[in-house]
Structure 1
């Protein structure tokens, strides 16, 4: 009989009650695994990051990861079985994985039902206690109530999608220009896909709010805003929006540059403006700043099976410590939270917060 391997040597269970594990490396068919007093053999070769059953799962029962259901068994599943749905099988064949692929799916995706908050059953979570002593980091204190930055960038911002190629070309043209300035972290483009229509876009308010946020972000030392006068969104609209909503735009060195004079001419103009800012931006120095000034956003960088057992817990620990020192953390992607409402609401302060989150 082949040597037995303990589950922790070949897989991860994000939560103790999970009935499927994540393979931490490619595992050959017939690998013998020991877990919770059971010894089982893998039915097929299991790819790194894919899952296999560690407990019996009867037809109609949920497959659990992080203690949460992600699929429903379409037949009885035994420990050691590679868990696959209908979409996985043809993809594994297409990729010529070099091993026998399960012939039929053994689970189907769980259909998401709208989450309903039971106010009567709600229990407040245990809140993180503040640290007694403050901690500090080296940051850039900004004027105008912009907060404290962790970087000092010159940003080339495209007002609409029509100027996306320009902002990329200008930053490429200026590659290395900031190297002689030790306090400038770089010249970076901000290009996007919005606002290129002839008429105003349906998401105009969201677009203007997002662009305004980029301009006054504390990591920005100066910003060049490139605009196309024929697009559905203009620099005048953005200026008015920032004035009406009291954005501290005058606390940030900035210029609106129209591309009406031609691409080549605008490239020369933009380069002159940005090069002229570099000494001014470089004059800003890092100083000790309290962690209470930190505001961090948690964003998915491309989810895989290990996000939940490595990257996410680390990001959560960092966020918790920032909060305990008086800072703040924001879950920045709404769609990443859909289906996880129950999990998130297991530890919130009060019912009002739970309702606000939903």
Structure 2
């Protein structure tokens, strides 16, 4: 029989409804029977004891809120009777002891990747075309139009066919048929068969709104992020367009590249418009040089690589009340497996670590690492408050509708993506991950900004959990979308890669699901499987502007 509700931690005074529960329904918890005094929709929480105003609400073993009004045993928790509150935190308690999972079955396993000169291994092989300043966005788009179709890198043609069909019907005067028009069936979504350069997975064109007009800090952060992409193991080389007078100078970009890879040896083609005789001449030279770069990139071949070469980004977006009990802990187990194999994992989204700081502090390998985490958390909160916001404003309307009614409640579930391993390093945006093991990276919770930063830090695969559904992807790293519940996986199968709903139904354990996900990661990393986000051309890229976004 399917479980109907779940108490996550022995210290909790609330439980999660796993299915819609009716008022008056009786449930047993630890040999005690509770009668629900109100209807509780699936994913929402109800009290396991009477709560008076200001009493703490505990979930995942931590404080996730406080009662505003009296709450009866068996009553639904809502934004009307609970407010955000979080546990205070202090210095690191002592040395953290971790028992790694058994990874014997994966010790000799490999994935097929692209080995780079700096020792890192790519899961894809891309060429980048990027502007140093927004003034060059149009020229990037010109190069994109010139390359995409001729080289077989154009996205799905179904939408172009739809417009062509509608134009044809209109021109022929068949206006009544326009209303009932249905598009033709989609063709094979595998884009590899028609490409000129079989070993190049694509030319990716990144545009942004930065590079000038902001602060020097903004320019430096942008150059650092772009350097992270240029030096990324999934990138074979890059073409950079610069205007010339902007804050984000070519010299600054080269400095940031050298910080990440002092022996940088990839092709880097730089074109500065204010030093060119004409825009036309610059673009022709850029196109020609990029084509020759692609010829060189096409010489790369996939070769076996240890699983220790994996750097896995851990992200959630469009979260729901099941995120913290299914998909998030499942990829947390993947993170533990990857770390035990010598790889790297990246947990970010600092606004969604509010309330679990003490657990993370205690997992840090040193006082210095713990203190850096505390410093970055407090500095971020201060910047957010300076623009009239705060971590308590993080949950979205969709989060709240699906049971995440406070930031601490959302955070306690979100943090489970980080598994249980020690925290080896804490990084500020847009630094690069270098330490094997679990790393914390300061980013917003915003889906695209966080994934953009994780990939810039070196993630060559991203695990992205969602309870509501999101099409988020990345230009150069495969983003694997994992549904927290089977209803979402079935309804939005065009964007979901993996279903974690079996955990909610009690059919699979977190550990079993995590092991299945790791097997899927290996296939994706080897190029055997393309993620839904890749096939849909979800090349989302948004640099973070500090303090403005949660």
In the superposition, the TM-score normalised over structure 1's length comes to 0.77
Pairing 1:116–2:132 present:
no
Shift of 1:45: 5.5
Say if 1:10 and 1:31 are closer, same or farther in 2 by CA, change over 3 A.
farther
CA distance in 2, matches of 1:243, 1:350: 28
Matches within 5 A, 1:70-219: 70-85=64-79, 105-110=80-85, 113=88, 115-117=89-91, 121-122=93-94, 124-128=96-100, 131=103, 133-143=107-117, 145-164=118-137, 166-167=139-140, 170-171=143-144, 173-176=146-149, 177=151, 178=153, 179=192, 180=195, 181-197=197-213, 201-219=216-234
- Contact residue 146 and residue 216 of structure 1 kept, 8 A: no
Larger radius of gyration: 1
Give the one of 21, 28, 34 matched to 2:27.
34
Q: CA deviation at 1:160?
A: 2.8
Say which structure is richer in strand: 1
Q: CA RMSD in A?
A: 3.2
Tell me which moved more, 307-316 or 172-181: 172-181
Secondary structure in 2 matching 1:203: helix
- Quick one: distance in 1 between partners of 2:215 and 2:364? 40
For the residue of structure 2 that corresponds to 1:110, the secondary structure is coil
Judge conservation of contact 1:56–1:78 (CA < 8 Å) in 2.
yes
Query: Larger RCO: Structure 1 or Structure 2 (Cα < 8 Å, ≥ 6 residues apart)?
Result: 2
SS of equivalent residue, structure 2 residue 217? coil
Unpaired segments of 5 or more residues in structure 2? Answer: 154-191, 375-550
Deviations 1:39-62 (A, max 9, x none): 32351463x543333443333221
Within a 5 Å distance, the mapping from 1:336-351 to structure 2 comes to: 336-349=352-365, 351=367
The CA deviation at 1:288 is: 0.7
Compared CA separation, residues 313 and 172, structure 1 to 2 (3 A): farther
Q: Say whether the 8 Å CA contact 2:114–2:233 is kept in structure 1.
A: yes
Aligned residues: 325
- 1:321 deviates by 1.0
On the 8 A contact 1:195/1:201 being kept in 2, the answer is no
State the alpha-carbon separation in 1 of the partners of residues 146 and 318 from structure 2.
29
2 CA distance for matches of 1:336 and 1:208? 26
**Is the CA contact (8 Å cut-off) linking 2:63 and 2:87 kept in structure 1?**
no
Instruction: Look up the SS of the partner of 1:72 in the other structure.
Output: strand
CA distance in 2, matches of 1:272, 1:194: 27
After superposition, the C-alpha distances for 1:111-162 in whole angstroms (9 at most, x for unaligned) are 675x211x5x53523242785644321111001x151111111122232333
- CA deviation vs aligned residue, 1:248-301 (integer Å, no higher than 9, x gap): 33x212211334567776665544443333332222111111122222332344
1:333 aligns with 2:349: yes
Q: Which residue of 2 aligns with 1:324?
A: 340
Query: Match for residue 222 of structure 1?
Result: 237
Shift of 1:204: 3.7
**Which protein has the bigger helix share?**
2
Of 253-262 and 279-288, deviating more is: 253-262
Q: 1:189 to 1:16 in 2, by over 3 A?
A: farther
> Deviation digits for residues 156-192 of structure 1, max 9, x if unmatched?
2232333345445644553352441332222223333
How has the CA–CA distance of structure 1 residues 350 and 239 changed in structure 2, closer, same or farther, with 3 Å as cutoff? closer
1:253 corresponds to 2:267:
yes
Q: In structure 2, what is the equivalent of residue 95 of structure 1?
A: none
Give, in angstroms, the shift of residue 302 of structure 1.
Answer: 4.2
Match of 1:90 in 2: none
Distance 1:130 1:22, change over 3 A: closer
Please say if residues 312 and 335 of structure 2, whose CA atoms lie closer than 8 Å, have aligned partners that are also in contact: yes
Q: Deviations over 1:14-37 (max 9, x none)?
A: 434333334445x36526241313
| CA positional deviation for 1:246 | 5.2
Q: For residue 99 of structure 1, what is the aligned residue in structure 2? A: none
SS at match of 1:156: strand
Distance 1:166 1:306, change over 3 A: farther
Are the aligned partners of 2:63 and 2:355 in contact in 1 as well (CA < 8 Å)? no
CA distance in 1, matches of 2:221, 2:251: 16
Question: Unaligned 5+ residue runs, structure 1?
Answer: 1-5, 86-104
Whole-angstrom distance in 1 between the partners of 2:336 and 2:58: 26
